[in-house]
Amino acid sequence: MKKKTGAIILAELLKSFGITHIFMVPAVLRRTMVEIEKRTNIKRLHVHSEKSAAYMADGYARASGKPAICMAQVIGALNIAAGLRDAFLAHSPVIALTGGRDPLTKFKKVYQEVDDMPAFEPVTKFNATIDDVSRFPDMLEQAFRVATTGSPGPVHLQFKGNEAQIDLEGTELESNFSAVNTQIPPHRPICDDVILEKALTTIQSAKRPIIVAGGGAKHSKCSEELLKFAEKFNIPVATSLNGKDLIHSTHPLSCGVVGTYSRESANLSIKAADLVIFIGSETGSMTTHFWTLPNDEARIIQIDLEPENLGRNYFLEVAINGDAKATLKRMNELNITPISERAEWLEHISQLRRDWYDKYKSLMESDTNPIRPERLCKEISDNAPENALIVVDTGHAGMWMGGMFDLQHPNQNYIRSAGHLGWAFPASLGAKCALPDRPVICFTGDAGFWYHIAEIEVAVRWNINTIVVVNNNSGGNQSKRGFDRAYGGEQTAEGRQMWTFNNVNFAEIAQSIGAVGIRVEKAVDIQTAIKKALQLNKPVIIDVVTDIDALAPLAVN
């Protein structure tokens, strides 16, 4: 049998697994890149930082539900590891390929070389080295299997050689690769009916039940089954930030996002419930506002794919181990007569919703200058296309959009940073690569945008037509409250230097790089800017000048 190089094998493997884009900082797997060009239609995006490459792959994976690839040579591997932290927290199936140490020269002080493998341990589900070219097929298949099965997550494969020159070596291998585990979830386990019937009986006995749907429910793609279940049993639905798009905001059972970056009506709804059904939620601190929600008296049911999540933070009335979509589908099928009347409870939920909108109506419609962020969120809500994907940063951006932004159509989607400021812009570029025919709108602040502003050039070079809305208040003002406490009151000018920036026009920077830049200084111009951006076939940066003293509402518990 004629030998093939690792480069040919890897190119054919990536093609068979359905990879369409690679996000990388060269030079890594150089000969593989040549074979990819010759043998596939995979786009090889050279970006400006390894962390951006990881974030782009993360955005692609979350938008598509499929594994995505990022790469770096050995000197950039630790930057890749840092970028995988958000993917790990969000359970995103990113596969990182990096160069690594050569066994022949280990411990000889090779230029730029350290042992990177320990750094990947806390941010991956599987972290392995490849020192023999014959292992390419089974190790890549293992990477895809681990990334997609169970609770999804990142994987790291380190290839021998600082630039992974192992791909120059040859081996005798067949090319008839059969790819599996190319999307999430590949399997849908479900528990016994006896447990599901116990849960349904518990739900039937509750007067004020509520659902909290999380990121695991979103990974399961269970929105249809969730709504059918909620409507059948008259149960309001709150979501975590990761599950925000499981139910659109105009649905009568929607309560909004619960927890720390939340909507007040959602927290109050959870607080009033006598039974909380967590679906695909790890019940972590963000969703429960540091375990102050729900009340201690509330009974808890939890549905989760990962057994270790069940009962981690709450004593459970019923623990259901299984895929959310398959579980809800079966619960909808079981012969349990639904309760038709929870009128008082549903009216209470509706009143909380109305109270919240009444409370913030004036700010959402405010014409003041500088612009109020509440008005900016409402304009995005009202003008985002019916099939838009919204990509949101953390910090104040996450607070504003988590609470104030409404998904008004069932076909809109929403993904957000799991905690790393600056994630949203590069992630939105990856998301647009995954969904080229859908509008992608990124929402970030100026503090977040500064992190990876160089990737405007990548968007221009590859014609990645993401619309980036920058909430530009010349500061990272989520930190204001903390520094006020540290200073014992309003800060000095020197104190404000800890969280403020110079006034910069991002629209001008975008224009100079080749993107479209639109500066918005009046609230009445936001709609026009968004509509114009949607009509253009170019990357657009909408720089919205907002009020630095406007602070996002704190969570209610």
> What H or E segment, with its residue span, contains residue 427?
helix 424-434
With a cut of 80, say whether residue 435 has pLDDT above it: yes
For 371, list phi and psi in degrees, rounded to 5.
-70, 140
pLDDT at 1: 62
Average pLDDT of 399-404? 96
Q: Is the dihedral of CA 541, 546, 551, 554 positive or negative?
A: negative
List the alpha helices (DSSP H) in 273-386. Answer: 285-288, 324-333, 343-364, 373-383
Say how far apart CA 431 and CA 517 lie, in whole Å: 21
Mean pLDDT of the chain: 95
Tell me which fold the domain 365-545 belongs to.
Rossmann fold (3.40.50)
pTM of the predicted model, to two decimals? Answer: 0.96
Q: Is the pLDDT of residue 28 over 70?
A: yes
Dist CA 484 CA 325 (whole Å): 46
Give the DSSP per-residue string, 123-190: G-SEEEEE-SGGGHHHHHHHHHHHHHSSS---EEEEEEBTT-GGGGSEE-----------SS-S----
Q: How far apart are the first and last CA of the chain?
A: 68
Between CA 342 and CA 201 the distance in angstroms is: 16
pLDDT tens readout for residues 456-469: 999 999 999 999 99
SS3 of 288, please? helix
Report pLDDT digits (tens) over 488-513. Answer: 877 777 888 888 999 999 999 999 99
pLDDT of residue 340: 65
User: Which ranges in the chain are annotated with CATH 3.40.50.970?
Assistant: 4-171, 365-545
Helices 77-90 and 50-64: crossing angle in degrees, nearest 10, is 30
pLDDT at residue 395 above 70? yes
Q: Which residues contact 405 (CB under 8 A, 6 or more apart)?
A: 377, 380, 381, 390, 392, 414, 443
Amino acid at 110: V
- What integer pLDDT is reported at residue 269 of this predicted model? 97
User: What share of the chain has pLDDT > 90, as a percent?
Assistant: 89
Average pLDDT on 64-73 reads: 97
- Provide mean pLDDT across the span 509-529: 98
Is pLDDT above 70 for 175?
Answer: no
Residue 2, pLDDT score: 77
- Per-residue pLDDT, averaged over 373-393, amounts to 98
Question: Is CATH 3.40.50.1220 what the domain over 193-348 is classified as, yes or no?
Answer: yes
In Å, how far are 291, 401, 483 from 312, measured between CA atoms? Answer: 11, 29, 34
Hey, is 238 helix, strand or coil?
Answer: strand
Would you place residue 528 in the very low, low, confident or very high pLDDT band (cuts 50, 70, 90)? very high
Residue 481 has pLDDT above 90, yes or no: no
The amino acid that residue 88 corresponds to is F
Which tokens hold the place of 332?
Answer: 């909808």
pLDDT at 497: 86
Instruction: Return residue ranges of the chain for CATH 3.40.50.1220.
Output: 193-348
Banded model confidence at residue 337, pLDDT cuts 50, 70, 90:
confident
Helix (H) or strand (E) holding 364: helix 343-364
The whole-number pLDDT of residue 484 equals 84
pLDDT value of position 178: 66
- Cβ-based burial of 297 (10 A; exposed 0-12, middle 13-18, buried ≥19): exposed
Lowest mean pLDDT among 107-111, 175-179, 225-229, 368-372: 175-179
Q: How confident is the model at residue 487 (pLDDT cuts 50, 70, 90)?
A: confident
- Residue 154 one-letter amino acid: P
- CB-based contact 549:491 (threshold 8 Å): no
Q: What's the rounded mean pLDDT across residues 478-492?
A: 84
Q: Which of 166-175, 236-245, 278-287, 514-523 has the lowest mean pLDDT?
A: 166-175
Residue-level pLDDT at 533:
98
pLDDT confidence band for 165 (50 / 70 / 90): very high
CATH superfamily of the 4-171 domain: Thiamin diphosphate (ThDP)-binding fold, Pyr/PP domains (3.40.50.970)
pLDDT at site 16: 93
pLDDT band at residue 11, thresholds of 50, 70 and 90? very high
Kindly tell me if the per-residue pLDDT of 482 is higher than 80. Answer: yes
Q: How many residues does the chain have?
A: 557
Q: What pLDDT does residue 321 have?
A: 98
Report the candidate in 236, 243, 276 with the shortest Cα–Cα distance to residue 261: 243
Q: What's CA 421's distance to the chain center, in Å? A: 12
Determine the average pLDDT of the residues in 530-545. Answer: 97
Question: In this model, does residue 144 exceed pLDDT 80?
Answer: yes
pLDDT at 129: 97
Q: What is the pLDDT of residue 177?
A: 63
Comparing 289 with 486, the larger pLDDT belongs to 289
Q: Is 217 in contact with 226 (CB distance < 8 Å)?
A: yes
Query: Would you state the pLDDT for residue 176?
Result: 63
